[in-house]
Every structure is written in structure tokens, then in C-alpha cells.
Structure 1
Amino acid sequence: MSHPASRPVGVDPLALAVRRALGLATAGAFVLMSPALLAQESESAEELETVTVEAEALSIVTEGSDDYRVPRTSTATKLDLTPRETPQSVSVVTRAQIEDFNLDTINDALESTPGVTVERVETDRTYYSSRGFEISNLQVDGLRLPMPYNNVHGDIDTAVYDRIEVVRGATGLMSGSGNPAATVNFIRKRPTETPRASVSATLGSRDHRRLELDVSGPLDDEGRVRGRLVAAGLDSDSYLDRLHRERGVLYGVLEADLTDSTQLALGHTWQQNDTDGNMWGALPLYDSAGNPTDYDRSTSPAPDWSYWNGETHRSFVELTQRLSDDWQVKGTVTHLDMLSDTKLFYIGTVPDASTGRIPNSFYLSKYDRHLEQWVADLHAKGDVEVLGRHHQLVLGADWSQSRNQQSSLYAAATEDLPPLDEWDGSYPEPEFGDPDFANDATIKERSLYGAAKLDLADRWTAVAGARLSWLDTVGEQYGSSQDTTLDNELTPYAGLIYDVTDQASLYASYTEIFNPQTETDRNGDYLDPVEGVSYELGLKADVFDGGADAALALFRTEQNNVAQVVGNVGGRDVYAGADGITSEGVDVTLAGELAPGWQASVGYTYLEIEDADGEATNTYIPRNMVRGTTSYRPASLDALKVGARVRWQDDIERERDRDDGKTRQDAYALVDLMASYDFSDSLTGSLNVNNVTDEKYLTSLKWDQGFYGAPRHVMANLTWTY
């Protein structure tokens, strides 16, 4: 059984943390709004929204506009490519979508992303999947972020991000090791060239309260030094019994033009999550006779003493040197320090069919974790001209080190539980003692990479690249040695694009990714890594007079050399590589402005997922999915904006762990509605109604337990901007 995370040091109460964050933010606002800066008020509103850094796709800014698409991305290859020039399926959640639908966490945002499923297996631990595989690759500003166990602890707040880009399929060129699912790239907000500020307050159902402050602008008269400070605080009860959340966020970033061609940026993000009454595992989905359970949506298996607290510090320093109009070099170093601690209660059995009582088979745990990561990247990017044609190149190297320390302490259960829908959360709280970080493993990965966009002919373009990786892991996790070494692991990338017309292109691509294994063969040697391979064939087009991007993709993704037990030698299982999961299907997406004032981002995904024997597998992942957000601002009343978000999926099921039955979740659709009104140039009010049909549904069937999603709820927001 996997275990949650924990912090080995104490955490200040969140209320104090939020006050500290907002206090610092307010101080920053006074600095940024000094008289020298206010003299720049007369500059146009358009200038307030734009930050320009030469030849960098990350300089694209979506905040301050209604756009539901971006003109270029670099997540797939680090090359600055338009959607039509990128030979993979790409989706973006822009700042407008985040604000329109109050997508305050990464979970909320990814639930709006075509081709992605968010597996909320517990209240404070989440898995993501795409194309039949767990997503194991995250990036921040294009730098890979190692992700132990393929899950996220707590809610990552979106206050600090301008947008979220998702590239589906194998992404080994920029991600290094991982699964052939997708890469999620979080693009931070950056300082603006002119002063701006905003304060946003949200009140919602079940005492949901959120405050967000964002100030930005130049810090000197010449505008050569710029800063930004973002702070957010959340305090909320829940529809789930006993669950209460507090969250604080503080993000500061400085940019300085050291010379006309040299820019230095440095920043730090702090986030603290405090959750009381959190789940470890979830509700039993069937009873001892195999009958499906049907609890109230508010029912929780968490006792009143359970909690999950976490604190994250993420720092970065970035130096960009422009060598010419066409070339630049960038070096970045990031550091992550994540601490968390929990007290947990897990139900290890099912209720009695006749009484509803749950026998004394529980896990009581204190789980602590310390995750520390360093990531460094150095790359050069620019244009070259060969035989009269312009090409784009990127060459780079990166290095990462990730140390994961864990402690799991247990106590004995002492009594049975009454039926869960009658339980008030009372259960004896045990004493666990001090954490013991015996589970300690360190992963080091070093890579060289290169990619090129090649202008082959008038209508032909190729995108090609490769990554060469070295990986070393030492240590132990839960009694299992993690010691592995990989040398010269080559990961190729190839794509070909043909412009059928000036507005439409056909493309084909082949991408790979690898994942190390700790299983050994008969000779005691580690197996070669699992190989993930993605094939994609598609059509992309600029539609609606160039205002939107449309794409149709046929894809096939395979896992090869997956460890399978083939015997036993001296009491030790031995393994051999075999074929794994294969998925294939269709992605259809549309994003952008469909008519004046009408923005949309819509996607449909069809999946087939089979194991090596050709049998359907991972049936908890829906085979048909629709994800869509849309908003409309009428020309006759442009102060008004209305919109809707729709998430639909077909039936899913899971084979039970304890009997031969299956747990099923019928197809369902979730509909969210929003409306906002600009009372003035500075003041906007909005209203969101989520799950308007009050649909009752299970959030995931990835595990043999689950819980229900939120019923209908309302949020009202008031935002002042300068």
C-alpha cells in the first residue's frame, strides 16, 4: 500500500501564515506604487499586459486578455513553435479560463484539460492520467520537475501561474524519464513593465473564503528592475464531514536588466496546506456480501484527529544572455524543499452486510516526508540559415538530484466502527512517537539534449531531436533497494509537418520516453528500462479566420520491456521484460475565438487500453471524454461575460480486490456556469455555480475505495484592479 506524506518540523498555523503573506504583499504594493512609478500611469492598458523577452515562448502572457489559446508553446521541444508546428497534441489552460471558472488549484485546471483525467483518490493525494498511463512528468517554466510516485500531495494553488500547458504522449526529449502519458508545464507569472495591482475576494458555499493580492511593476525610474508579488489565502469548510482546509501562498519574483543584452531573474514560492479531517484511502465501495454501498455525499472515513499538513518552498535563479538578434543562452537553477506530516486512518476492510458496522481492521499511521530537489539547465537557442532557409535550433544540458525521505509509523486499532453514515468521527487517537527516516533514496539524472525545427521545403517542415541521459539511484524505500544505474540512454524525437494549405497541416510524429526498473533477471542484473513509445498522425488547422486552432489526432502509445515474474531462484523472484499496456485512440480539440467575443476550449477523446494479452485494462479510465470551457462577451454589452464549463465521461468500472464482482460508475456530466460584470474599469464582480444539476458521482475508481464529488455549490467574487 502506498503511503501519504508528512513534515518532520512544526508548521505555524495557517491563519498566521496568511497574515504574514498578505502583510508582505501589502508592503510590496507600497514599494511598487511609489510616486516615481505612479508617474507612468498614463501608459496604455495594452502596455500593462505585455512582457517582452526576445525569442522566448515563455514570454507569452495570457493574463489581462479573454484568450483561451496561446500562439506559441515550447513545452514539447523547447523550440518556440506554433500549435501547427508542434507535431503532438497540445492543450493550454489560460489565465482567462482560470479566472472565469475559479480554477484555484491544479486539480481544477487539469479537470478542464482535454485528454486528462484527474484521479482524486483521497482528499489530499491526486494522480493524473492521459492516454491510459499515469502522468509522471511535470515542468515549471519548462524545467522538468521529478515526481516521485506519480502523485501530488495537497492542492497546488494556481495564483502564481499565468497558464498551464499540457503535451500528450511520450515526452522524453524534455522530460527525461517517466511514463508515455503527458507533460504538464506550469508557466509562472512574471513582472510587468508598468505598474499594476489587483485584489480579489471570493466567498462561497460552506464558508469558502479566499483572498488574493497581486502587485507588479518597475522598481526604478528606468524600468530596468521589475518586481512582482502574489499572495493568496484560503479558509474553507467542506461538504465532507469534518474536512477543513487552510492554504497560504506567497510568490515573489524580480527581474533586472544587467545590460542591454543580459537579464537576471530570481524568485521564490512558498505554499502551506493545512487540512483537518482528511481521508487516507476513502469509502468502502461494497459490503461483505458484495452489495454496492451508497453513502451520503458528506460521509467521510476520517476521524476527527486526522490531518495532513504540508509546506513547500520553491526557489529559482535564471540568467539570460542575448548573443545576437537570433541567439540567446539561458541558465536556470531551481530548488524545491517540501515538508509534510500527517496523522491518518485507513479502513482495511468492508462493512458487514447485515449491520453496516465495520470490523476492527484499520491502519493508524503517522507518515512524515521530506523531499528535496535541485534542477539545473543550460541551453542555447536561436535561428540559423542554411541553403537559403531558416531553421531553429536548441542545444542544452540539464542535471537534477531528488532526495526522498519518508517515515511511516503505525499504531494498533482498538475498536470497531458503527455504520459510517452514523459515525461522528470519534476514535481513540494513538501515540506514534518520533519519525524515523529510514526510507531514504536519492536519484541523480544528467542529460544532454538537442532539437531542431528544419524548414525542408516550401510546405515541408521537420522537428527532430534527441536526449542522452545518465541516471543513478541509491537508497531504499520500504525495504526495497532503489540502487540502479543507467548510462547513455538515448531518447529520440521526430516529427514531420506538411502544409496542405496556408491554414491546414498534416503531421506525423514518433516520440519516446524511458522509465528505470529495480527488478532483476536470473543473473541478478537489473532489467533495462521500460520503454514508452508514442506514434501520432494528425491534422491541425487555423480556423474561424485564424482566431482558433483545431486539431484531430490519431495516436498509439505502447509500453515495452515491462517486468514480469518468470521464476524464482534461491527464494528470489526473477523477472524478464515483456510487452505492457497499449493504448490507441482519437483526440479532437478546438481552442480560441470562434466569433467576436466568443472564446472556447473544447476537446473530445476516445481511448482503447489493452494489456499484453489484448484484454481491456485500466478500466477506471473513461474511454470517451469531453472537456469544454466557453465564454461570451456580447458586443452590445461588453461589460458582461457569461460562460459554461462541461465535463462528461462514459461508464467506468473496476474489478474488486476482495471478490469477483465489479464496481461501476455510470456515465455522468458536470456543468458549471459563470457570469461576470465590469462595474467599472477597475471593479468586476462574478458568480459561479458549479455542478448545477447536483450530479452525484464517484471522483475515481483507481483504487478499491472512493468518495463522492462536490454537490452543487456557489462562489461569488469581487476583483479590483489597477
Structure 2
Amino acid sequence: MQLKPSPLHLAVVMALSTYTMTQPATAAEAAIDQEVVEIRGSASTENSETYQAPATRSATGLALTPLETPQALTSVNRQQMDDFGLDNLNDVLAITPGVNVERVETDRTYYTARGFDITNFQLDGLGVPAVYGNQMGDLDTALYDRVEVLRGANGLMSGSGNPSATVNLVRKRPTRETQASGNISAGSWERYRMQGDLSGAINDAGTVRGRGVIALEDGKSYLDRYEKQRDLFYGVLEADLSETTLLTLGHSRQQDDSDSPLWGALPMQFTDGTPTDYDVSTSTSADWSYWNNQTLNTFAELRETLANGWTATARLTHTETESDSKLFYVYGTPDPDTGLGLKAYPSRYDMETEQWVADLHASGPFELGGREHELIVGAQWFKSEIWDESNYGQGIGTDLSATGAFDGSYPEPAFDAAVDGSEWVHKQSSAYTTGRFSLTDNLHLLAGLKAVTLESEGSSYGSSRDTEYDLELVPYAGLTYALNDTYTWYASYTEIFEAQEEQDENRSLLDPLTGTTYETGIKADLFGGRAYGSVSIFRSEQENVPELAGTFGDGQSYYRGVDGVSSKGFEADLSGELMPGWQANAGYAYVDIEDADGNRTKTETPRHMLKLATTYRIPSMPQLKVGGSVRWQDEVSSAVATQDAYTLVDLMASYRIDKNLTATLNINNVTDEKYINSVRWAQAYYGAPRNAMLTLGWKY
């Protein structure tokens, strides 16, 4: 069945009409306009020590500063990643205010904000759908300039109006000037890492520029038997085809190979209801188990600078992922005296996904009523093809001895007991437009609308994934009012529409999640523009929220849709340079989620979170920079586990040996806090104990 093309065709016609109505700019005008787009839309953070967030296109497609964006926004830039050794996305989001990282297994992670799963991701502002709503493997950050997190619903630019957040991964781009850098690191549990980055002009005229990034990592873990290897390559080329035309081509490849990973985790409760308490290093993995993940991403972007400040941009990205694994799952509830009661569940799992995402848009200023406004109009299309297969091992249900569940000794079986899997296709086409209207010098209105058509065909583990939604409308509205040179008030309204992957007791997909999100607050331009602060309050009201209702005989879960779920909360953020040499990125988040009867729900989500990352360059010894980060959350609980409130403290110090060479020491969890990573599932495992990493970095 073909998608109805009307919204896509409408936006293409509108974008092309805008293009044909504007005449090519002169060379001088084009150069000026192109420079403005670079500054507002693609600013680099890697050569600046500040933690302040630059302009972003995450929210509406328009390049807006944090004060101009009518939603809560946090950015973790290149400098902060380097200071604290944030080499993967899990570590970046763990330090990001308002975001909770749910490490349910060693190689599968969920992210939440405002109490709900983050399923909206972007690459350079282009929405990329998350197939299963989680991250398999660790996404390396060596190729990214910064990671932006826009909290709240964002249906305009990221597929659906999920009320949690949108994570925008902004990739490094080539530079005109030659620059190079390299790092070597060594740390606890025989962990080693090497990273290199080379960028600059390829021809004498500087019209062709290139950049290459590599990262290699190998190491053991605090978890018994667990080891991991990772390699990353990223290459990107920019070419000025003319004074007004810029072509960008890029490709990245990341391979993650894990030995003895956790599939599932540790039982959290004994048969008498008392909590288990294992050593932090305890693992249920088998010696023969492994989980390998590969991601290939190729993208092309063509940008044309038009007259009167307008640009037209066409983007295409292609992503392939492959997952190959033999896994060992332990289930059941142990007896507190004998340790018996746990059973074996071996399986082989393979997955392949292929995604195409295309976007065409035009943006620029226009005059109306004697004032200048901004507009973007565009169309987007994506297609995801998913195949996976589970080959179940012989011996499922075998009783394990008290030690046999944890010593890795379970023998590798033949994986021919049974087979099941998925094969389905998901397509979506949409047209969108957003305007930023200058009502007065101080008051601006942002209004947008997305028309989306989507379709899924196929099946997954015996359940149909056939569904179709025609021309769903997702509106967006926001206001910003500059109270003075420092403070800006803002408010926004977004509607929620999200097709769901969960199935009900009849193995049918749940109807879409719908609702609305309201947000208002005050943003501030502090310390002469060197820092940014905000306070916000929000409320989301949702219908048909999935709630776990039971389990089929094959172990698959089924859900029911719950109406009247509401979440409300308060957030405060501060980032940038608070005084010369003092950088900070801090935030506090409170969220309360209730059902239709006013009872608290989603207790596995922390109500309160506080995060602070700060560094200070010593004035009397400018070669030395010291810093630390603090992460605190209150109690979380599920039906089988409770994690009390806890605090994690990390410390760092770097010393600039000369203008090119710097040594950095990071010590994580300095208090050696013992804590459960997540109580999202009935099983869980513990976070990393105290550990350290020493990095020697070189820059040219």
C-alpha cells in the first residue's frame, strides 16, 4: 500500500516555488548570507572553552539562540566532553540536566526526560527515527561537536510529538584552516583508548575541505567477564561548487564488539520478598556469549544561497545497523537460603535495519506589516526496514545451581530449539512550516504546523504491525517577550501524536498516544552574554499511555492504554562562563506523574534530579584547570526493587604542558557509591565503582 503523497507534494511545491521566485544573489551578497547561516546554524564549539550553548535548529528548523527558543534547552559541547572524558552518548546524557539514562543491560539503554522515553533523535537537526526506542551499543562521541537536548514535545522536526525530549547530535564539519588533534588514554580495568582528528583545506583555493576522525577503544570492565572493543571512523567533505552552492558528503562507521555482555540482569528480589544484594561485579553472562553491533551512516547535503537572505537545502541520509549476538538470560526468583530458583534461557539474536531519510526545505526572512519575520517551509520522508530473528537455544528452563547463574559456566547449547522474529517496514511523509513573527521589537510569535502521513506493514514475533494514519496534523505555537536586555519570558504549546510499538492482549498495536504539552518560563542572558539561564514549568496531558498489563507464554509483554496520565514539573538550567575561567553546566528537574485518579505513577522515574558540571582555570597557574561533576537523584522504585536517593561525584584536573600538549585525569564515582543503574525492569545491575582515566592530548 502506498502512502498518500499530498502533504509531501505540497511542501515540495512550496519550497520550489520559493526557490524560483528568488533570483540568484550577487557573489558579495551570497558570501555574506552564507556566513550568517554558518554562524547561526552550524557554529562550532570545539575551539572555545565556554560551556554556553550556540544557536540551534532542533526545535523549529530555524536557527534560534537559546533565548529565542520557547522551550527548555541544554547543550553539552565539545569542551565539556573533553574535560570529563564523555566518550559515549550514555555518559553525555548522564551529565545532561533533565535527562535520565536507564542502563537496563550492558549493551542496551533507554533514555527518559520528564518521565517518558526519549524516542526523537536528530543528526544535524534532521529527525532520525529510533526503531525500538533504545540504543544498542555505545554511540561514540568523537565525531560530534555537541549534543543538544530540547525538552518537551517536538513534533515539527522529529517525527512525533513525544513529550519527553529531542536529542540532536551535531557532527563536526571541515575547517578552512588546518588543524589536528590526538588523544591516548589509559584507565581502570585495562581500558585503553586512542582518538585522532584531522581537518583542513584539500586544495590551494580552500574550496574543497575535508575532515577525518578515528577512535579505537579496548578494555575490560568492573563486571565479571565483560570486555568491549570499539572502533569508529568518520569522514566528511565540503565543496564550494560555486559562490552560492555548498555540497557536503559524509560517512561514518562504528563497530562495537562485546564479550560476555548482560542480557537481562540480576534478580532484585528473593522468594520471601527481601531485596537481593550482590557484589557490584556480579554478572549473569556466559563465557561464550557476545553481542556485536555495527552502524553505518552516509549523508549528503546540498545548500544553495538565494537572494534576500534565503537558503534552500536538500539532505539525504542512509543508515544501516547490524546486530549479531549469542546471549544468555537468567530468569526466576532465588531462594534466600539456598540460592536456587533461577533458570537458563540461551538465545541467538540477529537484527538488520535500513533507514532512508530525505528532507527538502527553504528558509529566510520576509517583510510583512513593515516588520521583518522568518519562515521555513519543507518536506520530509523516511523509510525504515527492520528484520530480526531469535534462534532459541536448547535447554531453556534448565535449573541453575546457586553459583551456576553467576560464574559464566553454563555450556553453549545448539540454537535450534525454535525460531521467531520480525520483518516490517515503516514509512512516513510530512510537510512542515514554521514562522517566527516579529509582533513588536520585544514580542515574537513562533507558529508551525506539520502534516504527517505514516504507514507500517509486516509482523513482529507473531504480532501484526500493520497500521496507517493519514494526514495527522501536529501544531506548534510559542511566544517570547524580551522583558529587558537580560530577561525573556516565553511560553509554548505543542500537541502530542505518537504511533506506538506496544501490543495489547490480542497482539494488536495500541492506538496512538495523544495529548498536549504546555510550557512557560523565564530565560536570561547573563554575565554580558557569556552565560545562559532559564527556569520553566511544564504540564503534559496524555491519552492512551502504554502500561504493562501482563506477559504472554512466550515471554513477550503486552500492554493496555491508560487515559488521563498527566505530568507536571519545574526545571532550572544555567550554562556558560560565570566568571573568567569558571565554566558551568547545571540543572535541576522536578517531575510528578499522575494517573486519572491522581495517584503517582511511573515510580521508576526520579522525581528530583540535580546535575552540575563545572571547571575552573586557576588564575595564578593558567596551565591548570580543575573541576568536578555532581549527579543526585531521589528514590526510585518498582514492584521488585527500590533504589534510595544517591549522589555520584566525579573529579577532573588537566594541565597544559605546552601550547600543544595537555594531560587530563578523570576520577569517577570518587565516593565509591553502590547503586542500581535502573529499576525500569524486574532485573537490574549495579553502576560502576570508583575508577580513573588518564588522557594525554595533543592539538595543532
Same fold by TM-score greater than 0.5: yes
Task: Report SS of the residue matched to 1:99.
Answer: helix
Partner of 2:663: 685
Task: Note closer, same or farther for the CA distance 1:262–1:393 as it changes in structure 2 (3 Å cut).
Answer: same
For the residues of structure 2 that align with 1:578 and 1:206, how far apart are their CA atoms? 45
Q: Runs of 4 or more off by more than 6 Å in structure 1?
A: 434-437, 518-521, 524-527, 563-566, 574-577
Asked if the contact 2:308–2:365 (Cα under 8 Å) also holds between the matched residues in 1, the reply is no
Q: Contact 1:295–1:421 at 8 Å: present in 2 too?
A: no
User: How far apart are the structure 2 equivalents of 1:551 and 1:560?
Assistant: 29
Q: Does 1:249 align with 2:219?
A: no
Q: Is the 8 A contact 1:366 1:409 kept in 2?
A: yes
1:654 counterpart residue number: 638
| 1:478-497 correspondence runs (5 A) | 478-497=461-480
Indicate which of 396, 407, 411 corresponds to 2:389: 407
Sort the Cα spacing of 1:649 and 1:527 in 2 relative to 1 into closer, same or farther, 3 A. Answer: closer
SS of 1:637 mapped into structure 2:
coil
Instruction: Assess if the C-alpha contact under 8 Å between 1:516 and 1:528 holds in 2.
Output: yes
Asked if structure 2 preserves the Cα contact closer than 8 Å seen for 1:56 and 1:80, the reply is no
Shift of residue 505, structure 1, vs aligned partner = 1.1
8 Å Cα contact 1:74/1:81 also seen in 2: yes
Q: Which residue pairs with 2:147 in the alignment? A: 164
3-state SS of 1:109 partner: helix
CA change 1:128–1:420 in 2 (3 A) is farther
Partner residue of 2:611? 627
Instruction: Check conservation: 1:484, 1:518, Cα contact below 8 A.
Output: no
2:602 maps to 1:618: yes
Indicate conservation of the 8 Å contact 1:509/1:535, yes or no. yes
Letter in 1 for 2:462: G
Note if contact 1:179-1:532 (Cα within 8 Å) is conserved in structure 2: no
In 2, Cα distance between equivalents of 1:53 and 1:222: 21
Q: CA 1:532 to 1:183, structure 2 compared with 1: closer, same or farther past 3 Å?
A: farther
The separation in 1 between residues aligned to 2:501 and 2:178, in whole angstroms, is 53
**Aligned residue number for residue 47 of structure 2:** 64
Aligned twin of 2:378:
396
Aligned counterpart, 1:375: 357
Q: CA deviation at 1:499?
A: 1.3
1:179 Cα deviation from its structure 2 partner: 2.5
Query: Out of 591, 607, 611, which is 1:607 matched to?
Result: 591
Change (3 A) 1:487 1:160: same
Deviation at 1:695, TM superposition (A): 0.4
Q: Which residue of 1 aligns with 2:3?
A: none
- The question of whether the paired residues in 1 share the 8 Å contact of 2:392 and 2:418 is answered with no
The answer (yes or no) to whether the contact 2:102–2:109 under 8 Å persists in 1 is yes
Partner residue of 2:206 out of 213, 223, 234: 223
Contact 1:52 1:59 in 2 (8 A): no
Q: Does 1:84 align with 2:67?
A: yes
> Secondary structure at the residue paired with 1:148?
coil
1:590 aligns with 2:568: no
**1:414, distance to aligned residue in structure 2 (A):** 7.0
Inter-partner Cα distance in structure 2 for 1:563 and 1:423: 33
The verdict on how the C-alpha distance between 1:313 and 1:435 changes in structure 2, with shifts beyond 3 A counting, is farther
CA distance in 1, matches of 2:388, 2:499: 21
Query: What residue identity is the alignment partner of 1:675?
Result: A
Q: Give the fraction of aligned pairs with identical amino acids, expressed as a percent.
A: 51
- Determine the structure 2 residue equivalent to 1:14: none
Could you say what secondary structure the match of 2:585 adopts?
strand
Q: Secondary structure at the match of 2:373?
A: strand
Q: Which residue of 2 aligns with 1:203?
A: 186
* Aligned counterparts of 1:401 and 1:58: Cα–Cα separation in 2: 26
Give the Å deviation of 1:544: 2.1
For each residue in 1:484-526, what CA deviation from the matched residue of structure 2 results, as whole angstroms up to 9, or x when unmatched? 11111000000011111111011111012311258999xx998
In structure 2, relative to structure 1, the CA distance for the partners of 1:609 and 1:438 (3 Å cut) is closer
Cα gap change, 1:299/1:561 in structure 2, threshold over 3 Å: closer, same or farther? closer
Question: Quick one: structure 1 residues 520 and 664, their matched pair in 2 at CA, closer, same or farther if it must change by over 3 Å?
Answer: closer
Which secondary structure state, in structure 1, belongs to the residue aligned with residue 439 of structure 2? strand
Q: 1:118 to 1:221 in 2, by over 3 A?
A: same
| Uncovered stretches (5+) of structure 2, i.e. residues with no partner | 1-33, 550-557
For 2:46, give the aligned amino acid. E
Displacement, 1:456?
0.3
Residues 445, 471 of structure 1: 8 Å contact kept: yes
Is 1:717 aligned with 2:695?
yes
Partner of 2:622: 638
Of 355, 368, 371, 1:386 maps to: 368
TM-score normalized by the length of structure 1: 0.88
Mapped to 2, the partners of 1:683 and 1:407 lie a distance apart of 49
Work out the CA distance in 2 between the residues paired with 1:562 and 1:673: 40
- State the match for 1:100 in structure 2: 83
Aligned-pair CA distance for 1:621: 0.8
CA-CA distance at 1:640 after TM superposition: 1.2
Contact 1:53 1:59 in 2 (8 A): no
Task: Count residues with an aligned counterpart.
Answer: 658
1:80-103 Cα distance to aligned partner (Å, 9 max, x none) = 111111000000010011000000
Larger deviation: 577-586 or 97-106? Answer: 577-586
Contact 2:345 2:397 survives alignment (8 Å): no
Q: TM-score, normalised by structure 2?
A: 0.90
- CA distance in structure 2 between the aligned counterparts of 1:368 and 1:262, rounded to whole angstroms: 42
Structure 2 equivalent of residue 676 of structure 1: 654
C-alpha contact (below 8 Å) 2:175/2:199 kept by paired residues: yes
Aligned to 1:192: 175
CA distance in 1, matches of 2:503, 2:273: 38
* Residue of structure 2 aligned with 1:467, choices 450, 466, 470: 450
1:168/1:565 CA distance change after superposition, 3 Å = closer
Deviation of the 1:445 alpha carbon: 0.2
> What's the CA shift for 1:547?
1.4
In structure 1, how many angstroms separate the alpha carbons of the residues matched to 2:499 and 2:384? Answer: 15
The CA RMSD over aligned residues, in Å, is 2.4
CA distance in 1, matches of 2:279, 2:206: 57
CA distance in 2: counterparts of 1:576 and 1:652, whole angstroms: 23
Secondary structure of the corresponding residue to residue 220 of structure 1: coil
CA distance in 2, matches of 1:144, 1:605: 25
Letter in 1 for 2:186: L
Structure 1 SS opposite 2:294: strand
Compute the displacement of 1:436 (Å): 6.5
